[in-house]
Amino acid sequence: MKNKLAKLWISSLALGWLFDFLFWDKGFGINFAAFFTACLIVGLYFLLSDGIRPRRAALWLIPLFGFFAAVTFIRAETLTVFLAVVFSLFTLTLFAVAYRGKNWTRYSFADYVVKYAKALLGMAVSPITASVQARKSADKEPSAKVNAMPFLRGLLIAIPILLIFTSLLSDADLIFSQKLNNLLNIFNVEKLPEYIFRLFYILVLGYFLTGTILRAATQPADEKLIGEEKPLLPPFLGFTESSIVLGGVVALFAAFVLIQFRYFFGGETNIHLDGFTYAQYARRGFGELNTTAFLALLLLLALSSITKRENESQRKTFSALGVALVGLLLVMLYSAYRRLVLYEAAYGFSQLRTYAHVFLIWIGLLLIATIALEILRKERFFAFAALVAAVGFSATLPILNVDAFIVRQNIQRAASFSADDFDSPYFVELSDDSIPPLVAALQDSSLSTSIRQQVGASLACVRYRRESGDESAWQAFHLSRHRANAALQSVASQLDAFEISETYPTKAVAADGAEFYCSPYYYDAR
């Protein structure tokens, strides 16, 4: 790599300039995926051309990066995009960290912390050390001296001649003069602080990109994992003490499940027997059950790490208690899931309820994986299992298309039951992902007039409140925004029938005089 260091510096600075070109004064769109894909391509070019090939395990991270990078300009829902950005950066940096290693699937949480800290340090130090080594190598090798004076004399002679001819040509042609003035305006002295700031972050970004590639090239192929040969924290708690703690928690959870069993699965009938409403039943305890599951999982992992198990009988007993604990936790999580389903049946879907819905499924799978790893004595893979669950949750949201899912489910619910409590103003708060299914509902003749009128009012409010975005800059192209603009344009004549009352609170007024709020905060939200 040292023989290509100059080319690497030039390429990294070019990537820094590319970042400025893609992002400066541009909206968020395809530019994120374009920039980091370019970084991946440049990094792979230098590493592969130097004969440094990635391990097969690391290659699995590339399609993951591609998926999440694509999500950033395909979906617009806030949490979906945020997680896509996070995991795009995470998978790309993990690819650099684990490029030559073969054990990243066996990393513990401590390994992630240490290796990422070393990677950051290496990114900061590697360019300096590589430049120093290259300079020492160059000093040892004889090289022909380059005389720069002829170039300087040539520039001094050429500059005044060029200025004279430029002045004459400007007077001869007005269009040339205008283009020249536009070019000179770029170097406006008033923008000097902006140019200095942009040059600064281009240099900093180029420096760290160079460090990232050098770090991936120089990391050892035979990496050692923390706690693999010797536990980071040797077991110190006796089996008896651990069994009492774990057994007591299992007994408590079993009593809770036994007492609450009819409420877990009885649904609406048992709720009304005790005088609770849907909202009271669904809300009460949902957060507490999830917190209990999280803390119990941490307890099981902690005890598994610090408990002495001196014979096979003790190992089987501990695993049995762990299986019992996880089994009870799954029942309690199913209770939380049932509460959420009842809430959704009563009041429809929202973003938070949809997140919780998906999260409960993945946390349940993580619990099952945890106890399987305990039984198989593969506890080291828990960090990988947690990463799979996190990636699975983050990937499910864009596949589900959260805002479009909410629109379809709530409209279907209103069509199946009653449109009287149809929370259509909530649609105004959703992202551009919700607009195509809303337009499809507006054009669906099978829906009642009342539902279509409420959907039309929501779309009229959306069109009034949203900004279509700058479609002229390709760097800011966003597929969700593009599809939303096209969908709104296709029903423009129908939306024109609604008059927007700008007096606070904003309302959409239909042709028959019906008024619809443009904000869910004035609706009887539950």
Tens-level pLDDT at each residue, the chain (526 residues): 556 788 888 899 999 999 999 998 888 999 999 999 999 999 999 888 888 888 888 888 999 999 999 999 999 999 999 999 999 999 999 998 888 877 788 888 888 888 888 888 888 888 888 777 766 665 555 554 555 557 766 777 887 788 788 777 877 777 878 877 777 666 665 666 777 788 888 888 888 888 888 888 877 766 677 766 666 667 788 888 888 998 999 999 898 888 766 655 555 554 444 455 555 555 556 667 778 888 888 888 888 888 888 888 888 888 888 889 988 888 888 877 877 777 777 778 888 889 988 988 998 899 889 888 888 888 788 889 999 999 999 999 999 999 999 999 999 888 887 666 677 888 888 999 999 999 999 999 888 888 999 999 999 999 888 865 555 688 889 999 999 999 999 999 999 888 888 778 888 888 888 888 887 765 544 4
416 and 273 fall within a common domain:
no
What's residue 471's pLDDT?
57
Domain ranges, residue 456: 405-522
What's residue 525's pLDDT?
40
Output the CA angle 364-104-33, nearest 5 degrees.
Answer: 85
| Residue 123, domain member (yes or no) | yes
368 and 413 fall within a common domain:
no
Q: And the tokens for 309?
A: 């198990």
- Please list the alpha-helical segments (H only) found in 312-434: 312-347, 351-375, 382-400, 402-416
Measured in whole angstroms, the distance separating CA 126 from the mean position of its chain's CA atoms is 29
Domain-terminating residue out of 172, 198, 230: 230
Compute CA distances 218 → 50, 52, 100, 358, 425, whole Å. 11, 9, 9, 40, 56
Residue 359 CA to residue 517 CA, distance in Å, equals 32
Residue 102 CA to residue 55 CA, distance in Å, equals 6
State the maximum Cα–Cα separation within the chain, in Å, rounded to a whole number. Answer: 98
- Reduced to 3 states (helix: H, G, I; strand: E, B; else coil), residue 509 is strand
- Find residue 517's DSSP bridge partners: 507
- Reduced to 3 states (helix: H, G, I; strand: E, B; else coil), residue 55 is coil
Domain-terminating residue out of 230, 257, 273: 230
| Residue 53, domain member (yes or no) | yes
What's residue 268's pLDDT?
52
pTM of the predicted structure, to 2 decimals:
0.82
154 and 7 fall within a common domain:
yes
Do residues 506 and 519 touch, judged by C-beta distance below 8 A?
yes
307 and 159 fall within a common domain:
no
Domain count within the chain: 3
Backbone angles phi, psi at 230, to 5 degrees: -135, 130
| Residue 307, domain member (yes or no) | yes
Give CA torsion, residues 447, 453, 459, 463, to 10 deg. Answer: 150
398-403 contacts, C-beta under 8 A, 24 or more apart: 398/71, 398/74, 398/75, 398/80, 398/84, 400/354, 400/358, 401/75, 401/77, 401/433, 402/77, 402/79, 402/80, 402/351, 402/354, 402/355, 402/433, 403/76, 403/77, 403/351, 403/430, 403/431, 403/433, 403/434
Backbone angles phi, psi at 165, to 5 degrees: -65, -35
| Residue 390, domain member (yes or no) | no
| Residue 384, domain member (yes or no) | no
Residue 175 CA to residue 276 CA, distance in Å, equals 79
| Residue 392, domain member (yes or no) | no
311 and 418 fall within a common domain:
no
| Residue 289, domain member (yes or no) | yes
Helix (H) or strand (E) holding 516: strand 515-517
174 and 254 fall within a common domain:
no
168 and 265 fall within a common domain:
no
| Residue 498, domain member (yes or no) | yes
514 and 442 fall within a common domain:
yes
465 and 500 fall within a common domain:
yes
216 and 260 fall within a common domain:
no
Residue 107 CA to residue 388 CA, distance in Å, equals 13
Domain-terminating residue out of 230, 261, 296: 230
70 and 123 fall within a common domain:
yes
- Find residue 307's DSSP bridge partners: 237
191 and 307 fall within a common domain:
no
Q: And the tokens for 416?
A: 């199946």
